[in-house]
Amino acid sequence: MKEGVVVKATGSVYTVRTSEKELIPCRLKGKMRLEDQKSTSPVVVGDNVLFEYEADAETGVIAEVLPRKNHIVRKSTNLSKQSHVLAANMDQAILLATINYPVTSTVFIDRFLVSAEAYSIPVVIVFNKVDRYKKGDLELLSELMEIYTKIGYRCEAISALNDADIEKLKSIVKDKVSLVAGHSGVGKSTLVNSLEPSVNLKTAEISSAHKTGIHTTTFAEMHPFSFGGYIIDTPGIRGFGLVDTGKEELYHYFREIFAASEGCQFHNCTHIHEPDCAVKAAVEEGEISESRYNSYLSIYFNKDEKYR
Ligand SMILES: Nc1nc2c(ncn2[C@@H]2O[C@H](COP(=O)(O)OP(=O)(O)OP(=O)(O)O)[C@@H](O)[C@H]2O)c(=O)[nH]1
Ligand SMILES: [Mg+2]
Ligand SMILES: [Zn+2]
């Protein structure tokens, strides 16, 4: 058995990179033990796997997926209970967001932060396309950067087309495995191309009618950097799934809400209707931003579907 990392997964073929940097197209062993039957994606980009070479010595069969240290789940588009894992085993995630062209909502950002917080995956929020922003967009940009910086998230505002901005991002992604996630059309593949031009990924203009992306990237793929490290480009998504925890625990993944909850009168306070709630007090005093608290409520009551 040989060990490798899945760098591309199309559903039938899994490309596995070996420690000798060989790329071996693999299939899954017929009766592979699937630990998580609820997942539609038993093997994903970033997975460490054990495989055996076929007789031709050029292709392989994946026999086992080694335990994941973390993963990010994409929200189901249907009502089934199945989860779709985007990628696994990352050192950090870059949430690529755009104030405009297309619009990224704060509840989308917060849902991603909740998912990442559950596994303690460090997140850098990168706002892209600043070269296109008008006055109102720039005002909203600085408001959001202030909110997230205050909570403790690193924020950057860039244009993927600007060399100086790309140099700054190189220092963030060097020698790490980074996942890039965000809505379709925010510039994920463009950013990867700017960081590593030889990759030459397909990109496309957003639709002029709907101001949304057109889902150009269809499979997640991990690319090596010539300067050290790897980046996982992912297809644009509408929303992120949450870990399998109860609603009662949701506020644990909103850092500043969790910190404020120390002062609540009831230890099982939901921070919605209880008296003497330190979280609600902090929102009223402006210590916790209303947009973050609204995201908490939206996700708690599962009302953020409309933001899709
Ligand atoms: N003005 C400007 N355009 C950008 C920037 N970054 C990306 N774009 C453009 O935005 C469009 C979408 O970029 P993509 O890289 O295809 O977006 P994506 O996030 O990979 O989209 P999906 O693969 O559909 O998820 C392309 O026309 C890019 O040229 C930027 O910083 N400024
Ligand atoms: Mg893309
Ligand atoms: Zn409370």
pLDDT higher than 80, residue 77: no
pLDDT at 209: 83
Q: What fold does the segment set 247-307 form as a domain?
A: Ribonucleotide Reductase Protein R1; domain 1 (1.10.40)
Its CATH architecture, for the domain 2-65, is Beta Barrel (2.40)
The CA distances from residue 44 to 24, 48, 102, 263, in Å, are 15, 9, 27, 41
Tens of pLDDT, residue by residue over 11-49, are 889 999 999 999 999 999 876 655 555 566 689 999 999
Atom in ligand 1 nearest the alpha carbon of residue 182: 19
- Residues that constitute the known binding site for Zn(2+): 264, 269, 271, 277
pLDDT higher for 79 or 41? 41
71-233: CATH topology is Rossmann fold (3.40.50)
Mean pLDDT of the chain: 92
15-54: burial string, b at 16+ Cβ within 10 Å, e else: bbbeeeeeebebebeeebeeeeeebebbbbbbbbbebeee
Percent of the chain with pLDDT over 70: 91
User: What's the pLDDT tens digit per position in 112-166?
Assistant: 999 999 899 999 999 999 999 999 999 999 999 999 999 999 999 999 999 999 9
Q: What is the rounded distance in angstroms from the CA atom of residue 303 to the CA atom of residue 198? A: 42
- Element spanning 92, H or E: strand 92-97
Residue 51 φ then ψ, to 5°: -140, 165
- How many CA atoms, within 13 angstroms, populate the side-chain half-sphere of residue 293? 18
In this prediction, residues 186-208 reach a mean pLDDT of 97
pLDDT of residue 210: 81
Query: Per-residue pLDDT tens for 234-255?
Result: 999 888 777 666 789 999 999 9
Q: Which of 137, 190, 192 to mutate to test the pocket of ligand 1 (most atoms within 8 A of CB)?
A: 190
Please state the rounded mean pLDDT for residues 191-205.
97
Check whether 293 has a pLDDT greater than 90. yes
- Provide the pLDDT for residue 32: 64
Burial (CB count <10 Å: 0-12, 13-18, 19+), residue 145: middle
Q: Scan for tokens 């760098």, then name that residue.
A: 7
Q: What is the pLDDT averaged over residues 70-76? A: 84
Q: What is the mean pLDDT of residues 172-195?
A: 98
Provide the residue ranges of all domains of the chain, joining segments of one domain with +. Answer: 2-65, 71-233, 247-307
Testing ligand 1's pocket by substitution, the residue of 101, 203, 210, 219 carrying the most ligand atoms inside 8 A of its CB is 203
Is the shortest distance between the CB of 128 and ligand 1 below 6 Å? Answer: yes
Nearest to 288 by CA among 265, 254, 242, 264: 254
Q: Which residues pair with 221 in a beta bridge?
A: 8, 233
* CA nearest ligand 1 atom 6, residue: 187
Give me 92's structure tokens.
């950090």
Amino acid 306: pLDDT: 43
